[in-house]
Structure 1
Amino acid sequence: PSYFSLPSMTRSGGPNFLGAKYAPFVVANDPNNKDFRVRDVELPPELTEPHFQSRRDLRQLIDRLPRYSDPQVADPVAGYDENVAQGYNLVTTPEAQKAFNIHSEPDEVREAYGRNGFGQRALMARRLVEAGVPFVTIVDGGWDHHANMFDALRKRLPTWDQTVATLINDLDQRGLLETTMVIALGEFGRTPKISTLAGQSKAGRDHWANAMSILFAGGGSRGGQVIGATDRLGHSAIERILSPENYVSTVYRKLGIDPDMMYHTPAGRPAHLVSDPTPIDELM
């Protein structure tokens, strides 16, 4: 698969109208567990490879359901075919089993990433990139601190910093950072004003759309930059104001995709990739 999501798929992370073959392969298990394994990527001991191939041949022999060749028709049977083909390739490719074998990593490397779910998923992401996977998403939830923010962040931020810094350094040392974008972001910022919700004793911060930050490393971008600024309260962006469209256009440009291109949905409706196709020059 060309897209992995660990340990779940976000609501906006699916294939949408692109079709089932573009859905992520979700690795739900925690790679920090001693008995971690990715189910269904290797044959069970009692099933030999010739027997497995004969099962595949039998399926093709008895499958007589019609397929719709029109790309504007969302054919569930064709989508199922794509999933089966993807699963077959995953099971029969040695590189896949090797990428998932996180237990082969030296202890010092695993400790550097952090012996927790987020740290080991970041290490798994590096292994998948090494195996040639173009897109890996790590979903790290639990940052919605409307209450008890300070105690929670004192625990979470050091391990997050450790993991992300190690991932960037590791990719750099392996010669992969120049061709790999590492991006960390949420969907909005937090209110400048600290407040205490009704029924809560410890303060937090609520949702805020006026200003937020994105961490961007690698992919040929120059490091050590701070692009843009807010006012002294973090209330609003006041310098080099950029939009989500500018960020997405930057990613598209680095992938060799023209963000100004017009595409057509399966129903034939024309649409632009983004409303503002201007990338962030400082990152290009």
Structure 2
Amino acid sequence: MRAVIVRSFGGPEVLEVAEVPVPAPGTGQVRIRVEAAGVNLVDVATRAGGLAGAGLMTGALPVGLGWDAAGVVDAVGPGVDGFAVGDRVAGLSDRLEVPSAGQAEFVVLDATAVARCDLDPVEAATLPLNVLTAAQALDLLDLKEGHTVLVTGAAGAVGGFAVELAAARGLRVVALAGDGDEELVRKLGASVWVPRSAPPAESVRQAVPGGVDGVLDAAVLGLPALDALRGGGAFASVIAGAMPPALRGARVANVWVRADGARLARLIPAVTPRVAGTLPLAEVAEAHRRLEKGGLRGRLVLIP
């Protein structure tokens, strides 16, 4: 089968669509015939060697790329209940060093990492990593109904889902986003929009005197976003190593996303998929270039 791998760290040119063995499902696993696979910033970081440099990978190569996969179950391993050949699913491949991952013609995942999903596979492939990250980051904040939360990067892939999920929890959402994104973030559920071109702390504190109760820092602003937080508030970072210091008694944590198929199944109907574009698997390097350029609304999706 064809799969996206890297044999050396570097720019988009090191990406390779290689022929690798078709994986077989083991106990508690299912194999998915992939119809669509999302492209995320973690793929860029893996390819460039950033994760290995941060000590999150051993650096052993080659390694497969792709966290998000959507398609059809085509084989079921022993001990799996609840899935059958032909089921339409989406799932999260959350291991960093595997021979092949979601960006491939087939992927094997633990059944616990997979959710039934009747969406178009292209839309479904934008969801697992980003929606689970948003939900698990909100869990870390542990805010109560009526509390205020600042979501930075609120029009982005993680931030957009965070706005929707926070509003559904009864939180008052302050959305920090681009100058052209006010209509979008308000449609997603934001009560207050703050342009990212303005100083974030001052703008947020004008809207919420005393500061917000929590910050979900999807844009990785760090200290400027922390300054919008009230004393003793909660701060969730979505990237390892990007956490600011716990000033003014803040409770600061980094979300380490984990696969959770059962929760993913509950979250899928609660969010709005956004597809920035599709490309064939062979054009994965172009997908990385577009992602690194920035400005996308939603996720790019590869079609094997």
Normalising by the residue count of structure 2, what TM-score does the alignment of the two structures yield? Answer: 0.25
Q: Identify the structure with the greater helix proportion.
A: 1
Q: Identify the structure with the greater strand proportion.
A: 2
Structure index of larger Rg: 1
Normalising by the residue count of structure 1, what TM-score does the alignment of the two structures yield? Answer: 0.26
